[in-house]
Chain A
């Protein structure tokens, strides 16, 4: 029961070197394979017809990236529990930093995500000492306002 609660809240306090030994190769491999697909992802973002006319099969690219994403996320989540909003914030920050080219965007947003998680975890451990706030709560505190901001700014764009 305790571990279910822990898993649902999400946190890094159960992390051990063993989990890193398992996770490290999986994450490195998936990021590497994703970066190999990066140019194709750029092309598919222009629309399926255009991608086809440029010699890229959109369905194949989508399937490959979905499988890789799922593999990476699922393996991490199974060790740390659910930590929300990192994936919402970090790609946006990365895109603001270096632009839309996925060849650079994918590694950059992985790094931004890692930094974000580390900072949130540190903050969570320090703020209410000696009690530790799980990192999932801290990222939600950051993520919800960010989410609302995106919601409002997108709506403004649609309504002109």
Chain B
């Protein structure tokens, strides 16, 4: 399934957060969105998933405008994994993953829904935790459960908002390997907002670098992760080498004091 974004802009009340985003992502691709805090990564994901409504026709799935789909149809196409999750009431892991079947069930889950949930838990190696309470699990396990919930939706496009930011290195690797596998074996398109540039470089086919709500660079990790781009977007000096995986590897050196940072393009100056 092909996702196209055509000139997407979004403002919280009158404060513009995203300005003229154009993007296309193909079947089975992993796209990572990187950029400093407040650059609009989460907002972009929420706009794609219509959690935040944009004006006009901007997001298209296979050429169809998502604003024309109803929420239920959309939720069969896209799954969303939020930055942090908690459950107000004590639900079991199985219950939480079953909630992913919501678009398909009316009041009570069918036999097939139970099978799909069991398969999904098995796929992510969560079967042993199925009857545990969600709130008692570790951060890494919780994140996997939330990914399982999104997978139970059987989406064609999966959106993840910093899925690895609170996890130890093993869980980070596990989750990113699962995502890569999903993209390759199930031809799921995956869009993931991330902070770790090296992880993003290793696991994504395409990268999108945001700066203050605008696309600064887009393309392969080699094209996006250059010393100049990193300096301009993050305001740090960095060295980019090649990792043993053959992907660019970023070694951050030191922050540049704000005075030295090259001036942003003049259109930003107009806004302030």
The interface of chain A, by Cβ under 8 A from chain B, is: 36, 38-40, 42-43, 45-47, 49-50, 52-57, 95, 99-101, 103
Q: Tell me the bound Cα distance from A103 to B106 in angstroms.
A: 12
Q: Are A53 and B99 in contact (CB under 8 A)?
A: no
Partner of A55 from B87, B95, B96, B103 at Cβ < 8 Å: B103
Q: How big is the B interface, by class? A: 20 to 34
Would B89 and A54 count as touching, CB distance under 8 A? no
With A39-B108, A49-B82 already in contact, the answer to whether A54 and B102 are too (CB < 8 A) is yes
Report yes or no: A39 in contact with B90, Cβ–Cβ below 8 A. no
Assembled-state Cα–Cα distance A47/B99 (Å): 12
23 of the cross-chain contacts (CB-CB < 8 Å) are: A38-B107, A39-B105, A39-B106, A39-B108, A42-B91, A42-B99, A43-B99, A46-B87, A49-B51, A49-B80, A49-B82, A50-B80, A52-B49, A52-B50, A53-B75, A53-B80, A54-B99, A55-B73, A55-B102, A55-B103, A99-B92, A101-B91, A103-B108
- C-beta contact mask, B70-108 vs A, less than 8 Å → 1, else 0? 011111101110100101111110011001101101111
Chain A: minimal CB distance from B161 (Å): 9
Q: Are A100 and B91 in contact (CB under 8 A)?
A: yes
Q: Which of A39, A45, A55 interacts with B75 by CB under 8 Å?
A: A55
Nearest chain B CB to A62 CB, angstrom units: 14
In contact, A53 and B72 (Cβ under 8 angstroms):
no
A-contacting residues, B202-260, CB 8 Å: none
B187 interface contact, C-beta 8 A:
no
Task: State the Cβ distance, B91 to closest chain A Cβ, in Å.
Answer: 5
**In the complex the two chains form, is B71's CB within 8 Å of A95's CB?**
no
Residue from A47, A56, A100 within 8 A of B71 (CB atoms): A56
Contact (Cβ within 8 A) B99 A103: no
Instruction: Tell me the nearest residue of chain B to A37, going by C-beta.
Output: B107
Judge if B39 is at the interface, Cβ distance under 8 Å: no
Q: Which secondary structure dominates chain A's binding surface?
A: helix
Decide: B74 and A55 in contact? CB cutoff 8 A. yes
> In the assembled complex, how far is the CB of residue A50 from the closest CB belonging to chain B, in whole angstroms?
6
A38, chain B: closest CB distance, angstroms: 7
Contacts of A99 in B (CB 8 A): 90-92
Q: Give A101 to B103 CA distance when docked, in angstroms.
A: 17
- Considering only CB atoms, which chain A residue lies closest to B96 in the complex? A46
Query: Nearest 5 pairs between A and B by C-beta?
Result: A55-B75, A53-B80, A100-B89, A55-B72, A54-B102
Q: How far is the CA of A129 from the CA of B3 in the complex (A)?
A: 75
In the complex, residue of chain B having the shortest beta-carbon distance to the beta carbon of A99: B90
A36: which B residues are within 8 A, CB to CB?
107
The answer for the CA separation of A56 and B104 in the assembled complex, in Å, is 11
Given A45-B88, A55-B76, A99-B91, 12 more A-B residue pairs with CB atoms under 8 Å apart are A39-B108, A42-B95, A43-B102, A45-B87, A45-B89, A52-B50, A52-B71, A54-B100, A54-B102, A54-B103, A55-B74, A101-B95
Q: How far is the CA of A45 from the CA of B89 in the complex (A)?
A: 7
**Interface: B153 (CB within 8 A):** yes
Q: How far is the CB of A49 from chain B (nearest CB, A)?
A: 5
Distance A103 CA – B189 CA, assembled complex (angstroms): 34
Which residue of A has the minimal Cβ distance to B88?
Answer: A45
> Within the assembled complex, what's the spacing in Å between the Cα atoms of A53 and B95?
17
B82 to chain A, nearest CB (A): 6
Note all chain B residues with C-beta closer than 8 A to A52: 49-51, 71
Contact B107 A95 (CB under 8 A): no
Q: How far is the CA of A97 from the CA of B92 in the complex (A)?
A: 15
Complex CA gap A49/B108 in Å reads 22
- Shortest beta-carbon distance, B162 to chain A, in Å? 14
**CA–CA, A44 and B68, complex, Å:** 23
Complex-state Cα separation, A6 to B17, whole angstroms: 58
Residues of A within 8 A of B85 (CB): 46-47, 50
